[in-house]
Amino acid sequence: MIRLRNVTKFYPTKTGVRHILRDVTLDIPGTSNLAVLGPNGAGKSTLLRLIGGAEAPNSGIIRCDESISWPLGISSGFQASLTGRQNVMFACRINGLGLAQRRQVLEEVIDFCELGEYFDLPVRTYSSGMRARLSFGLSMAFEFDIYLVDELTAVGDAVFRAKAKKAFEDIRNRASIIFVSHNLQTLRESCDSALFLHDGTAAYYPNIDDGIEAYQEYIRVNQLRHLKETRRKRRNETEAEREQRIRKKRRLRRRERRLARGQATAEGTDS
């Protein structure tokens, strides 16, 4: 069971404080596979970091009875100046592994990540996909009760994605997952419950379909509100503002045509 008690998380921005969670209290069963839903910027990845302990809330408490992985697919926990190998060995040491266990973990990570010579280069030289591979491979070498997953199966080329998908299925067969993804069909196939984040609130749904329905209704209502606001602004705009908007649109179209002609010319030269 994961327990959030009066949890608040916010970030200062140029336009003011942006709340991810605002005094949220809820219980998340540790035995279910949970989909985390929410619009862009709602704080889905932030929630994973909070649950995994990579970030602390501004106030409140998060407790869990089970062992939890670091967020797979997120690589912010690595020390950028260390190599991939050094980061793996550091993770082994802080988890209390002996020398033989460290060697075994190292072999498994090297085999899974397929980073080649980059494994012995500083992590700051890695692409985001390479960091995610390292995070994924390292997590596969440890046993957790709950795995935190952030868009994991989208990492890498087709061959690696197939490997990641198989490993992901192995995780689901032996542990629970908390899964962030923009693919609703993938969430339906992988999860049985949902947590819907929006506007600093969090609502738990024991049934995944109920959570997705609430999320889609929220998106529909907000799109309709945005459309009405846009129409209202256009009705109230002055003639000068209208002319300025039309001129801006025309400039953008001319620029797009110039770019298209330039691309066509380049392709003709190459051929």
Q: Where are the alpha helices (DSSP H) in the chain?
A: 44-52, 84-94, 99-113, 128-140, 158-174, 184-190, 208-236, 239-270
- What is the rounded (10 degree) CA torsion for 110, 112, 116, 121? -60
Q: Average pLDDT of 23-30?
A: 90
Q: Compute how many other C-beta atoms are within 10 angstroms of the C-beta atom of residue 184.
A: 14
SS3 1: coil
Q: What is the pLDDT of residue 14?
A: 87
Q: Average pLDDT of 161-178?
A: 83
Task: Write out the E strands in 94-198.
Answer: 146-150, 176-180, 193-198
How many Å separate Cα 76 from the centre of its chain?
A: 12
Q: What is the pLDDT of residue 59?
A: 95
Domain boundaries, the chain: 2-209, 220-270
CATH class label, 2-209: alpha beta
Q: What is the pLDDT of residues 58-79, one digit of tens each?
A: 999 999 888 888 777 555 568 8
pLDDT at 154 over 80: no
Q: Average pLDDT of 122-145?
A: 83
Q: What is the pLDDT of residue 253?
A: 87
Q: Is the pLDDT higher at 128 or at 190?
A: 190
**Contact yes or no for 197/43 (Cβ under 8 A):** yes
Mean pLDDT of the chain: 85
Q: How far are the Cα atoms of 18, 69, 163, 178 from residue 143, in angstroms, in the given order?
A: 35, 8, 18, 15
**Contact yes or no for 41/21 (Cβ under 8 A):** no
* Residue 142 φ then ψ, to 5°: -120, 150
Q: Is the pLDDT higher at 83 or at 77?
A: 83
pTM of the entire structure?
0.72
Fill in the DSSP letter of residue 122: B
- Rounded distance, CA 24 to CA 158, Å? 39
- Rounded distance, CA 121 to CA 123, Å? 6
- Rounded distance, CA 258 to CA 251, Å? 11
Q: What is the pLDDT of residue 139?
A: 79
**Token code pair at residue 169:** 């299925």
